Amino acid sequence: MHKKTWQEMIFILSIFSLLIASFISIILSLELINPNIVKNHYLNFGRLLPLHLNWTLYGWLSYPLIGLLFVLKGECRKNSKLIKLSLLFWLAALIALSISCLTGNSSGKLFLEFTGISRHIFALNLSFLSFTYIYESRYLKGINFFNKYIMNGVAFCIPIVWFIASSAEVYPPINPSSGGPTGVSLMGSTLVIIPIFLLLIKKLDKNISNNYLMKYWYFLLIHFLIFMVFCNHGSISNNNVGQIVSIFSLIIWPFLLIKLYFKNSSDRDQKHWKTSMVTWFLLLSITAVISFLPGVLIHVKFNSILVAHSHIAMAGFLSSFCFLVFDCFVSKDYLKHCLNSNFFINWHLIQVSHVFLLFFMGMIELDGFYYNIDFTYEFLKYLRVLIAVIFFILIALTFRRSLSYSLKKY
């Protein structure tokens, strides 16, 4: 009987989180057709939507990052019970957040809905994960100064910083200076994830030299400093020239990542997901620039076109990134067993169809047709349910295969 490693556990819990998120998306798409289809008020659209978003962000997209953190640290024990326990604690914190959202307790902050007891539970969960990260250092041989002291110090601070940032007093849902939602520039929020891609390439391609990679780090630093100096961070408006220029400057990064990620690319499966990631990233950057322009944002910010943009980010760009991360620490045999030869094509057929559908729905909404009982728009709603069901089946089959691997004998 095959004993599961923490790496395989991460894959299973990631897919499980995506399964939950995709099931919720079916209910949400049905409620868009008939808001009264679910009679229980605990399952209304306003309470299920943050669940869908948080199981996607804190489940599907976060578990691979947790794995990447341990892998970047060094060769951690494959059967570490402490790491496995921290992964289960993360799941428990997600369940606590779900109960909080379903009972109507939310901070009102997108992707930071933690409030009351769920906020304290997640802070404890982060603390335990940080402790695990630091504790595992004792089993690593030849660990360098950066990982032993700098990264461990950062890990120690993260739960404290997160708990402070999640406070309504520090980070209110509404920006007092503008009257709009609290947030940062799109450029700032994008630049902070670029370091993750620069760290990932070192695990995917051992032939990338540190000197070559440092050029990208220097460029990122310069880009970030320009952003900090020239962009206004108070009451941010898309009419501000600095903000528009900063968003336009993001388009260079997909091309830089193409040059970096395909410098020594040879693995066939990696090449597929690398191509997918940079293509979605380029599409995401272009749609972000167009959507942010004055005269455009006012029309699409409450529109299905913006939902399409979000799916490009989550289901396209970041999900492709997750599959690349899995390739860093999950065994090739396990991945081949879980992700069959058609998985890549099936995934993208579903995601591309969904994005086009949402975009087309948004174009109809711009003309105001959704105020009437329009046959085309109603048909698209049902088609959206069908796509959600097909995606759920794809993930359910993948989840079943991820569990069945443990029955293999060696």
Q: Which of 50, 80, 52 is nearest to 67 (CA)?
A: 80
pLDDT in tens, 256-282: 998 888 877 666 667 889 999 999 999
Q: How many CB atoms lie within 10 A of CB 327?
A: 18
Contact criterion met (CB below 8 Å) for 118 and 100: yes
Q: Identify the pLDDT of residue 18.
A: 96
DSSP H or E stretch at residue 47: helix 45-54
Which residue would you say has higher pLDDT here, 4 or 306? Answer: 306
pLDDT in tens, 74-114: 666 777 888 899 999 999 999 999 998 888 887 777 777 88
Contact criterion met (CB below 8 Å) for 250 and 288: yes
Residue indicated by tokens 């693995």: 267
Burial 111-129 (b: 16+ CB within 10 A, else e): ebbbbeebbebbbbbbbbb
Q: Identify the pLDDT of residue 184.
A: 47
pLDDT in tens, 7-61: 899 999 999 999 999 999 999 999 998 888 888 888 888 889 889 999 999 999 9
Cα-Cα-Cα-Cα dihedral sign, residues 27, 31, 37, 40 = positive
Average pLDDT over residues 152-172: 80
Residue 181's DSSP bridge partners are 174
Average pLDDT over residues 203-210: 81
Position 261: which residue type? Y
- Tokens standing for residue 126: 């982060």
Separation CA 3–CA 408 (nearest Å): 10
Q: Which of 117, 11, 99, 14 is nearest to 61 (CA)?
A: 14
Q: Which of 288, 99, 93 is nearest to 187 (CA)?
A: 288
What Å distances lie between residue 267 and 111, 115, 191, 332, 398, CA to CA?
A: 35, 44, 27, 11, 22
Q: Identify the pLDDT of residue 409.
A: 40
Contact criterion met (CB below 8 Å) for 89 and 346: no
Longest dimension (CA), the chain: 68
For 6-178+277-407, which CATH class? mainly alpha
Residue 174's DSSP bridge partners are 181
Separation CA 240–CA 386 (nearest Å): 41
Residue indicated by tokens 């698209």: 380
- Tokens standing for residue 159: 């739960």
Q: How many CB atoms lie within 10 A of CB 382?
A: 11
- Chain Cα centroid distance, residue 132: 23
Please report which confidence band the pLDDT of residue 410 belongs to, taking 50, 70 and 90 as the band edges: very low
Q: How many CB atoms lie within 10 A of CB 211?
A: 7
Q: Identify the pLDDT of residue 183.
A: 46
Separation CA 68–CA 66 (nearest Å): 5
Q: pTM score, two decimals?
A: 0.88
Q: Identify the pLDDT of residue 157.
A: 87
Please report which confidence band the pLDDT of residue 140 belongs to, taking 50, 70 and 90 as the band edges: low
Q: Identify the pLDDT of residue 25.
A: 94
- Tokens standing for residue 119: 């906020």
Please report which confidence band the pLDDT of residue 406 belongs to, taking 50, 70 and 90 as the band edges: low
- Tokens standing for residue 102: 């379903």
Q: Identify the pLDDT of residue 114.
A: 82
Contact criterion met (CB below 8 Å) for 184 and 233: yes
Which residue would you say has higher pLDDT here, 224 or 85? Answer: 85
Secondary structure of 283-343 in the HEC alphabet?
HHHHHHHHHHCCCCHHHHCCCHHHHHHHHHHHHHHHHHHHHHHHHHHCCHHHHHHHCCCCH
| % of the chain beyond a pLDDT of 90 | 32
Contact criterion met (CB below 8 Å) for 369 and 381: no
| % of the chain beyond a pLDDT of 70 | 82
Which residue would you say has higher pLDDT here, 383 or 203? Answer: 383
Which residue would you say has higher pLDDT here, 407 or 289? Answer: 289
pLDDT in tens, 50-75: 899 999 999 999 999 999 888 877 66
Looking at the predicted structure, is the pLDDT value of residue 136 above 50? yes
Average pLDDT over residues 311-335: 91
Q: Where do the domains of the chain lie?
A: 6-178+277-407
DSSP class of residue 55?
I
DSSP H or E stretch at residue 195: helix 194-204
Which residue would you say has higher pLDDT here, 91 or 178? Answer: 91
Residue indicated by tokens 């997750």: 322
Report the chain's mean pLDDT, rounded to a whole number.
83
Q: What distance, in Å, lies between the first and last C-alpha atoms of the chain? A: 7
